[in-house]
Amino acid sequence: MPGEAQAKRVYLTTPIYYVNDVPHLGTAYTTIVGDALRRYHQLRGHEVRLLAGTDEHGLKLEREAKERGLTPQAFVDQMSQRFRDAWPKLLVETDDFIRTTEARHEALVQAIWNRVQESGDLQKGHYEDWYCVGCESFKTEKELLAGNLCPLHKKPVERLKEETYFFSLDKYQDRLLDLYAKSPGFVAPESRRNEVLSFVESGLKPLSVSRTSFSWGVPVPGDSKHVMYVWFDALSNYWTALGGWESELTKRFWPADVQAIPTADDDPLVIHLMGKDILRFHAVFWPAFLMSAKMPLPSKVYAHGFLTIDGQKMSKSLRNAVDPLRLAAELPGGASTLRYHLLRAIAFGQDGDFDHAALLERYNADLGKNLGNLLSRVLGLCLKNTDNTAPAFEQAQRIELDNAFLKDVQASLKSAIAHWNAIEPHRALEATWAASSRANLYVDQAAPWAEAKKGDQARVATILSTLIKVLEHLSAFIAPALPDKANDMRSQLGLGALSSALNTDRLVINFEDCAARKLGIATPLFPTLDPAAVAALLLRLVPKKEPTMSEPANPEDAPGDGVLAATLPGLGPIESPIDPPITYDQFAATDLRIGIVLEAEKVPKKDKLLRLKVDIGEAEPRQIVAGLALSFAPEALVGKRVVVVTNLAPRDFGKGLVSHGMLLAAGESNSLRLATVDGEVLPGTKVK
Ligand code: ME8
């Protein structure tokens, strides 16, 4: 029913990502979900807007720029561009991309600040607490891990003491609780809502919202000693990007109702998407800032789970991140395959482990053998039986078998729509693929080849036109996840590319009319990969585990072999070709530091391993698990200066034994010699 859709307005936002590193699969995930939802709403004829952007202020970025010898502005300019360039490669279309260093943003954040001040909610004072620069957030003692480590970044927090403006967050406790009660869908999913409720119920304290110890931020109006706390600045982007109070976009996309409870069908929905790590900022601080500034609230904050690798959060700082652009470039089916896997394999809202092998399995099963095969089979049958034409038919010709099939497909597609509406992409795709599986079953049940053999051309035409009709629907229903493949499929079905138009629902389910139509040229949409191709692709895609001192992947790879051993006295040269050249930047990506071994002990039941505590100039010594036991008595290592690779992803040896770095050494595993320096260099000093 094309008339059914009221021009619902939906404003979707992704987090604006920190530009201290390049996009990774985690940041791509939220962005892809945002894009899929945007495409879904477009197909429904809704007016939709997707905002992405970059978060460019704060201590973390100021420090990062300094380390690279760049001004903060030059650094963020470079890095923001990487994000802007990345998303289209993942078939993400955004309507705007905001940078917090843009004048359009800064001026409006200051205007919001002024309104908060006018409400009497900002007081100057002094603050002292622990701060995680990675999170750009204060931490209570209770939240920290042993050794004063941030639970998320596993890095030491810093003690901060400075003059600050406090925002009266406590004043908004009751209004926030009222909001969660009156608008139960404001925080989603449900499990996260409870988490937010208990945080707010446990009592809110004034929040420090300005900093004086660095200057890379939006200046506080009227007090140039202070810059705004990066989260005050960052959260405001969702609103500043629309252009301020008077702009047309604000009027169309930001609710007018201060309580954020959509009352009319025509009210816009504002949906903030994010990971669970930053829910509190969005569900507590942001609405409180808006309440104070007497501005309307968003409709929903939806926090999804983490993508993990081997059970650990995938993140820039833990250095275990997967590069989505490389995956999109290497995978059969390109970015669409990656998008489909992420949207389908991870239950939106929950954590999900990312696994390359599972991705390829899913490609073969769902895309190749299910949907791709359905399309090829039906087009093949049409080529053979109906002169590559989708035959016209009359409803009356359908028999019970056909009607039962269409009833099931309709139920699945309706369920897909309900799941897209509920922001459950995994379920929406599951339902869509249920329709595809059902169609494959129908091909077998209806057996058009048998009808052709009997010479019943009319029956063959009915079966094939019924299947073509279902394929047409599938080509639209897969589009939010696989936009380019949806159009390839349509072209094979003899249809034009999908277009969206306001108030026109392209996901209407209607199997009735079917005029005869010439079909396109059939080519496999998702050619399946044979086991050898899967193995070869995995070899290319899966990051090789760094060979560590502790457990080389095979004895030939023992660290040091062929590198320094040739120069060791008593050992002849070892045959090992020099690796291919790398650029200076690739070399510089390895953070090598001088460390001093403080403790060393054997690891029970592991002949080769020693567990070391190494001082590399951090607040706490690092634990490093190294394969040195055949070469050194533990006590012989204590006090030694060593060269440590400090930015390797942590390696888990099981039973809680995690190594946070690697030592450099040369030689055979039973006669290793440690790389060291020839003087009293301080721990933490970079090795260049
Ligand atoms: O927090 N799995 O930026 P950020 C799933 N600038 N999603 C992940 C992920 C993972 N392993 N890792 C990151 C910031 N993400 C602030 C936001 S908004 C006003 C300011 C995604 O670069 C997820 O959406 O650290 C998470 O919330 C976000 O990236 C954090 O990005």
Q: For the residues of 235-251, what is the DSSP string, one character each?
A: HTHHHHTTT-TT-HHHH
Question: Above 70 in pLDDT, residue 578?
Answer: no
C-alpha 281 – ligand 1 centre gap (Å): 12
* DSSP H or E segment with residue 224: strand 223-228
Q: What does DSSP say about strands 622-626 and 606-615: parallel, antiparallel, or unpaired?
A: antiparallel
C-alpha 17 – ligand 1 centre gap (Å): 6
Identify the residue whose C-alpha is closest to ligand 1 atom 26: 275
Same domain? 580 vs 501: no
Give the separation between CA 481 and CA 227, rounded to whole angstroms.
Answer: 41
Give the separation between CA 148 and CA 142, rounded to whole angstroms.
Answer: 10
Total domains present in the chain = 3
Question: Above 80 in pLDDT, residue 429?
Answer: yes
Would you state the pLDDT for residue 141?
Answer: 84
Q: Which atom of ligand 1 is nearest to the CA of 274?
A: 24
Identify the residue whose C-alpha is closest to ligand 1 atom 22: 17
Comparing 549 with 418, which gets the higher pLDDT? 418
Question: Above 60 in pLDDT, residue 423?
Answer: yes
Cβ of 133 closer than 6 Å to ligand 1, yes or no, is: no
pLDDT level of residue 550 (50, 70, 90 thresholds): very low
For 438-446, what is the mean pLDDT?
A: 98
Cβ of 55 closer than 6 Å to ligand 1, yes or no, is: yes
For 195-204, what is the mean pLDDT?
A: 97
List all residues 6 or more positions away from 36 whose beta carbon is below 8 Å from its beta carbon.
339, 343, 425, 480, 481
Helix spans in 422-501 (H): 425-446, 448-454, 457-477, 483-492
Question: Above 80 in pLDDT, residue 562?
Answer: no
Residue 543 lies inside a defined structural domain of this protein: no
Cβ of 18 closer than 6 Å to ligand 1, yes or no, is: yes
> Across the chain, what does the average pLDDT equal?
89
**Is the CB of residue 303 less than 8 Å from the CB of residue 196?**
no
Probe target for ligand 1 pocket from 30, 273, 286, with the most ligand atoms within 8 Å of CB: 30
SS3 437: helix
pLDDT level of residue 602 (50, 70, 90 thresholds): confident
If 0-12 CB within 10 Å is exposed, 13-18 middle and 19+ buried, where does residue 70 land?
A: middle
Same domain? 187 vs 42: yes
Would you state the pLDDT for residue 549?
Answer: 41
For 463-471, what is the mean pLDDT?
A: 97
List all residues 6 or more positions away from 531 whose beta carbon is below 8 Å from its beta carbon.
none
Q: Which atom of ligand 1 is nearest to the CA of 314?
A: 11
**CA-based end-to-end distance of the chain:** 68
Cβ of 431 closer than 6 Å to ligand 1, yes or no, is: no
* DSSP H or E segment with residue 107: helix 103-118
Model confidence over 105-138: pLDDT tens digits?
A: 999 999 999 999 999 999 999 988 899 988 888 8
Give the separation between CA 648 and CA 669, rounded to whole angstroms.
Answer: 21
Residue 662 lies inside a defined structural domain of this protein: yes
**Is the CB of residue 500 less than 8 Å from the CB of residue 59?**
no
* Of 56-70, 238-252, 370-384, minimum mean pLDDT range: 56-70
**C-alpha gyration radius of the chain:** 29
* Of 299-308, 401-410, 449-458, 676-685, minimum mean pLDDT range: 676-685
Tokens of 520: 């396109």
Q: Which atom of ligand 1 is nearest to the CA of 282?
A: 19
Helix spans in 138-247 (H): 173-182, 190-201, 230-235, 237-240
Identify the residue whose C-alpha is closest to ligand 1 atom 3: 17
Quick one: what percent of the chain has pLDDT higher than 70? 90
Question: Above 70 in pLDDT, residue 154?
Answer: yes
* Amino acid identity, position 431: A
- Which neighbouring-strand residues pair with 47? 9
Question: Which of 491, 518, 545 corresponds to the end of one domain?
Answer: 518
For 385-409, what is the mean pLDDT?
A: 93
C-alpha 275 – ligand 1 centre gap (Å): 6
Question: Which of 274, 304, 334 corresponds to the end of one domain?
Answer: 304
Tokens of 628: 């040195």
Would you state the pLDDT for residue 5?
Answer: 39
SS3 537: helix
Residue 635 lies inside a defined structural domain of this protein: yes
Comparing 615 with 117, which gets the higher pLDDT? 117
Residue 615 lies inside a defined structural domain of this protein: yes
Q: Which atom of ligand 1 is nearest to the CA of 14?
A: 24
Same domain? 157 vs 208: yes
* Amino acid identity, position 554: N
Would you state the pLDDT for residue 600?
Answer: 86
User: Where in the sequence is the domain holding 478, given as residue range(s)?
Assistant: 347-518
Alpha carbon distances (Å) from 175 to 118, 166, 180, 272: 19, 19, 9, 20
**Is the CB of residue 166 less than 8 Å from the CB of residue 129?**
no
For 13-18, what is the mean pLDDT?
A: 97
Q: Is the bond leading into 189 cis (omega within 30 degrees of zero)? A: yes
Identify the residue whose C-alpha is closest to ligand 1 atom 21: 27
**CATH number assigned to the domain comprising residue 431:** 1.10.730.10
C-alpha 28 – ligand 1 centre gap (Å): 9
Same domain? 370 vs 479: yes
Residue 614 lies inside a defined structural domain of this protein: yes
Would you state the pLDDT for residue 264?
Answer: 60
Would you state the pLDDT for residue 586?
Answer: 64
pLDDT level of residue 546 (50, 70, 90 thresholds): very low
Tell me the backbone φ, ψ of residue 83, rounded to 5 degrees. -70, -45
Same domain? 153 vs 277: yes
- Number of Cα atoms under 13 Å in the Cβ half of residue 100: 30
pLDDT level of residue 301 (50, 70, 90 thresholds): very high
Would you state the pLDDT for residue 257?
Answer: 66
Strands of 239-313 (E only): list them: 269-275, 300-304, 307-309, 312-313
Overall size of the chain counted in residues: 688
**CATH number assigned to the domain comprising residue 73:** 3.40.50.620
Same domain? 197 vs 245: yes
Would you state the pLDDT for residue 583?
Answer: 59
Tokens of 202: 């446990």
Would you state the pLDDT for residue 680?
Answer: 72
Question: Above 50 in pLDDT, residue 557?
Answer: no
Identify the residue whose C-alpha is closest to ligand 1 atom 27: 275
Smallest CA-to-CA distance from 377 within 470, 312, 306 is with 470
C-alpha 274 – ligand 1 centre gap (Å): 7
pLDDT level of residue 260 (50, 70, 90 thresholds): low
Would you state the pLDDT for residue 262?
Answer: 53
pTM higher than the cut 0.85: no
pLDDT level of residue 554 (50, 70, 90 thresholds): very low
Residue 178 lies inside a defined structural domain of this protein: yes
C-alpha 415 – ligand 1 centre gap (Å): 30
pLDDT level of residue 608 (50, 70, 90 thresholds): confident
Give the separation between CA 587 and CA 157, rounded to whole angstroms.
Answer: 28
Would you state the pLDDT for residue 186?
Answer: 95
Tokens of 362: 């899913």
Same domain? 475 vs 580: no
Smallest CA-to-CA distance from 678 within 647, 643, 644 is with 643
Question: Which of 238, 273, 304 corresponds to the end of one domain?
Answer: 304
Smallest CA-to-CA distance from 372 within 463, 439, 420 is with 439
Identify the residue whose C-alpha is closest to ligand 1 atom 12: 26
**Is the CB of residue 176 less than 8 Å from the CB of residue 288?**
yes
**CA-CA-CA-CA torsion sign (603, 608, 610, 616):** negative
Same domain? 154 vs 44: yes
Same domain? 263 vs 402: no
Angle at 238 between CA 235 and CA 240, to 5 degrees: 100
Residue 316 lies inside a defined structural domain of this protein: no
**CATH number assigned to the domain comprising residue 655:** 2.40.50.140
Would you state the pLDDT for residue 571?
Answer: 32
Which DSSP string do the residues of 23-91 spell out, in sequence order? Answer: --HHHHHHHHHHHHHHHHHHHTT-EEEEEEEEE--SHHHHHHHHHTT--HHHHHHHHHHHHHHHHHHTT
Cβ of 324 closer than 6 Å to ligand 1, yes or no, is: no
Would you state the pLDDT for residue 556?
Answer: 33
Identify the residue whose C-alpha is closest to ligand 1 atom 9: 26
Tokens of 279: 């829910």
For 357-367, what is the mean pLDDT?
A: 97
C-alpha 273 – ligand 1 centre gap (Å): 10
**Is the CB of residue 482 less than 8 Å from the CB of residue 488?**
no
Give residue for tokens 């967050």. Answer: 169
Q: What does DSSP say about strands 223-228 and 17-18: parallel, antiparallel, or unpaired?
A: unpaired
Same domain? 478 vs 572: no
Identify the residue whose C-alpha is closest to ligand 1 atom 18: 15
Question: Above 60 in pLDDT, residue 298?
Answer: yes
Would you state the pLDDT for residue 568?
Answer: 29
Same domain? 508 vs 576: no
Same domain? 427 vs 281: no
* Of 283-297, 303-317, 574-588, minimum mean pLDDT range: 574-588
* Amino acid identity, position 9: R
Give the separation between CA 18 and CA 76, rounded to whole angstroms.
Answer: 9
Note the Cα 596 to chain centre separation in Å. Answer: 37
Model confidence over 485-533: pLDDT tens digits?
A: 999 999 999 999 999 999 999 999 999 877 899 999 999 999 999 999 9
* Amino acid identity, position 582: I
Question: Above 80 in pLDDT, residue 208?
Answer: yes
Question: Above 90 in pLDDT, residue 76?
Answer: yes
Question: Above 70 in pLDDT, residue 259?
Answer: no
Residue 90 lies inside a defined structural domain of this protein: yes
Alpha carbon distances (Å) from 274 to 31, 232, 235, 277, 278: 9, 16, 12, 8, 7
List all residues 6 or more positions away from 202 whose beta carbon is below 8 Å from its beta carbon.
none
**Ramachandran sector of residue 583 (left: φ over 0; alpha: ψ -120 to 50; beta: rest):** beta
